[in-house]
């Protein structure tokens, strides 16, 4: 579980995060949504420890990040998996070598132990014949699977994904969303996803945190988002006519 208490972060005197508090639960897929520039990436990087908020605290399973020693912080980092926007695979390494990279960096496992773990996670993301391929020889959807395999190879407690669907067709995007949700549930991970994708919100938004201009403007579930009267949320989520219609049908069904 991650608890965020009133974090504030500024750059060059401009406040970007203006006091955000929320919680992300274990075994749940939580989404952070909001317009471009609302502070989602700064927020995610603050959770990852890449930015240090000037105020507020972040607790990982009860432990306050800023109070940890350097060694404890380093250990906590090994418990965090990250899926970057655009997958961020190493072009010159095979799929297998990409996934093995964190094990080589952070563990003393033997090559055969590492290979077993790589085989296991690649199988888990349904990639069985891709070990020796280079990223350029695989599709965008496969690259996301490799990025997810690499993010979970260390068996993380926390998984952070920045726009995991960017660049994917809608069908593949749903498969990737569902894969992240299944893995989160199966391994009881605390997962936080930054997204623009309204399909993701509807499909896997067990908890949604809506950021606006550096504030948390709303939070709730994908069911609650249909019913909310919060204007900022409605303007953002229902800016497309298709989603407006989906919402009307859903509300009508609720009334009926
Ligand atoms: N390292 C930095 N230095 C200075 N300003 C920054 C830095 N990182 C982000 N910002 C500013 O913080 C604001 C929020 O940016 P952020 O990237 O968090 O938005 P976002 O919601 O993730 O947008 P998008 O959906 O487009 O990725 C922007 O105005 C951005 O210019």
Task: Calculate how far, in angstroms, residue 178's C-alpha sits from the geometric centre of ligand 1.
Answer: 28
State the ipTM, two decimals: 0.96
pTM of structure? 0.92
- Which protein residue's CA is at the shortest distance from atom 7 of ligand 1? 11
Number of domains the chain contains? 2
pLDDT averages per 10-residue partition of the chain, 256 residues: 98 96 97 93 95 97 96 95 88 96 95 96 91 94 94 96 90 91 96 90 90 95 87 83 79 78
**Does 24 fall in a domain?**
yes
Site to substitute for ligand 1 among 11, 15, 212, most atoms within 8 A of C-beta = 11
Closest CA to 43 of 67, 73, 16: 16
Choosing from 110, 138, 155, the residue where a domain stops is: 155
Range of the domain at 161: 1-79+156-221
- Residue 25 to residue 220: CA distance in whole angstroms: 13
Q: Is 34 in the pocket of ligand 1 (CB under 6 A)?
A: yes
**Are 112 and 72 in a shared domain?**
no
Tell me if residue 86 falls in helix, strand or coil.
coil
Task: Calculate how far, in angstroms, residue 175's C-alpha sits from the geometric centre of ligand 1.
Answer: 28
- Residue 170 to residue 26: CA distance in whole angstroms: 27
């Amino acid at each position: 579980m991650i608890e965020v208490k009133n974090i504030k972060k500024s750059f060059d005197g401009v406040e970007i995060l203006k006091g955000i508090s929320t919680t992300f639960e274990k075994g749940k897929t939580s989404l952070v949504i909001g317009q471009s520039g609302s502070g989602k990436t700064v927020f995610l990087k603050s959770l990852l420890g890449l930015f240090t908020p000037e105020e507020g605290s972040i607790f990982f399973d009860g432990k306050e990040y800023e109070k940890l020693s350097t060694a404890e912080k380093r250990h906590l980092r090994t418990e965090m998996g990250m899926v970057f926007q655009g997958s961020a695979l190493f072009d010159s390494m095979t799929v297998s070598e990409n996934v093995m990279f964190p094990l080589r960096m952070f563990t003393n496992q033997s090559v055969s132990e590492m290979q077993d773990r790589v085989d296991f996670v690649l199988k888990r993301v349904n990639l069985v014949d891709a070990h020796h391929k280079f990223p350029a020889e695989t599709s965008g959807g496969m690259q996301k699977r490799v990025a997810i395999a690499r993010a979970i190879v260390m068996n993380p407690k926390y998984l952070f994904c920045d726009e995991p669907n960017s660049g994917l067709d809608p069908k593949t995007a749903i498969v990737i969303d569902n894969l992240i949700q299944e893995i989160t549930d199966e391994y009881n991970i605390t997962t936080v996803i930054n997204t623009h994708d309204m399909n993701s919100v509807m499909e896997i938004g067990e908890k949604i945190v809506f950021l606006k201009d550096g504030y948390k403007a709303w939070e709730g579930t994908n069911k609650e988002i249909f019913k909310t009267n919060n204007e900022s949320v409605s303007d953002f989520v229902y800016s497309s006519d298709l989603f407006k219609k989906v919402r009307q049908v859903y509300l009508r069904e609720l009334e009926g």
